[in-house]
Amino acid sequence: MRRSIPAAVVGLVGLVLLVDFVLINPLLADVSDALLELIVLLAAAAAIAGAIALVLRHWTDLVERRGDWIGSLALLVSFGVIVLAGFYPGSEGAADPAVRWVVAALLGPLVASLFALVFVFLLVAMRRGMTVRRRETTVMLLAAGVVIVLLLPLGGLLGERLASAAGWILQVPLGGVFRGLLIGTGIVMAVHATRVLLAMDGSDD
């Protein structure tokens, strides 16, 4: 009974949004817009609650010197810098120069460093893949090599043809694969969420 009410509410909201996506009705569109605004407000409240819980958790770890308290200190300092840059008196929010400086000088290099590690992880994955599944890894490496060649910064007629071929590959074959993955992931998530809301487990199959 406890899970039946949230399941009914989620199912009703999802049904209204789905019907509004299929049918054109002004009244239904107004109801759908109101529900979307409510969902956005709930998501914002959940994000704020999560941020508060995160700060309290790491503050406790820092005060009690528990776990990785140095990491907790770094997280709290970083969180404080971002908040001060975005909420000081007279701030323009995300468009404020202080926020842009923090993003460009701190977050940008950190993100670039993380992406730089992807190349190392790919090399490790390639080596392990060649030892476990040589055929599939070879196909993946050949496809990656073709994409790299097509994206080479070449000029002239050859560069234009490579760029057009790369654009077609990204939009048609790879785009179709990604759309299929997104649709499949969405269906699996919807089924899993329905099972959780209805308190269904493996024994109910």
SS (H, E, C) 88-118: CCCCCHHHCHHHHHHHHHHHHHHHHHHHHHH
What is the Cα–Cα distance from 85 to 100, expressed in whole angstroms?
Answer: 9
For 76-100, the pLDDT digits (tens) are 888 888 888 878 787 777 777 888 8
CA atoms within 13 A on the CB side of 163: 8
pLDDT for residue 110 is more than 60: yes
Q: What's the whole-number mean pLDDT along residues 151-160?
A: 80
pLDDT for residue 203 is more than 50: no
Note the pTM of the prediction, 2 decimals: 0.56
What is the Cα–Cα distance from 90 to 105, expressed in whole angstroms?
Answer: 22
